[in-house]
A and B are shown apart, each in its own frame.
Chain A
């Protein structure tokens, strides 16, 4: 069964450092998303991406965050200057059509120290 692949599975970074989280969505999917889940809390929306541009972003997704689809397969989330409160599990997801069921990756656990 097709999977969404995320790397790394776990990243520890110093506060103020830049991190890039990587995702390979399912190949025939057109819609891409980043969500995050702080430990013990809800899965919360960060950004959606379609046709090489951001469709929507949440209040969390401020100027420190950016997304990119540099080639036909990868989808990345960059945090420029990490804060302690950015520590969370970050999930990439993709869907074949808008409003359809998402396929989530296994996540990247980001720990900011």
Chain B
């Protein structure tokens, strides 16, 4: 089965710095990879989607890269703010788009 690994340790950074979160996967190569933000007790909120034939996607302060050779996606938040503090989940779909497999998430703490 698909295995998705995100750093289980919290990432603590200073406001204004760039946060970089990692998502590694094994077995099959996903067709799509998505990143979500989840706040405590809330549903995940969709941030960005990247397809297997795309290397990079950007949206405002967010950037996602997708390296199918390394089987890795990186998620960057530039000029981070305390309001960016949350858990960030990666999720991937194989060519069957009916479901996504989620990682366990990385908690980001941005300190003022």
**Chain A interface residues toward B at CB < 8 A:** 4, 33, 35, 41-45, 48, 50, 55-56, 58, 89, 91, 93, 98-107, 109
Contact = CB atoms under 8 A, between A and B. Distances in A.
A105 B43 CA distance: 6
Contacts of B96: 56
Given A43-B38, A101-B34, 9 more contacts: A33-B99, A42-B104, A48-B98, A101-B49, A102-B46, A102-B100, A104-B43, A104-B46, A109-B41
B98 A55 contact: yes
The SS class assigned to the A binding surface is strand
Identify the interface centre among A93, A104, A106, A109: most chain B CB within 10 Å of its CB.
A104
B99 A43 contact: no
A49 to B, nearest CB: 9
A106 B42 contact: yes
B32 to A, nearest CB: 5
B42 A43 contact: no
A35 B24 CA distance: 22
Nearest to B102: A43
24 contacts: A35-B102, A42-B103, A42-B104, A43-B102, A45-B99, A55-B98, A56-B96, A56-B99, A58-B99, A91-B44, A93-B43, A98-B98, A99-B31, A99-B49, A99-B93, A100-B49, A101-B46, A101-B49, A102-B46, A104-B43, A104-B44, A104-B46, A107-B43, A109-B41
Contacts, number: 56
Nearest to B91: A43
B99 to A, nearest CB: 4
Interface string B73-112: 0000000000000000101010011111111110000000
B104 A103 contact: no
Nearest to A91: B43
Nearest to B51: A99
A56 B98 contact: yes
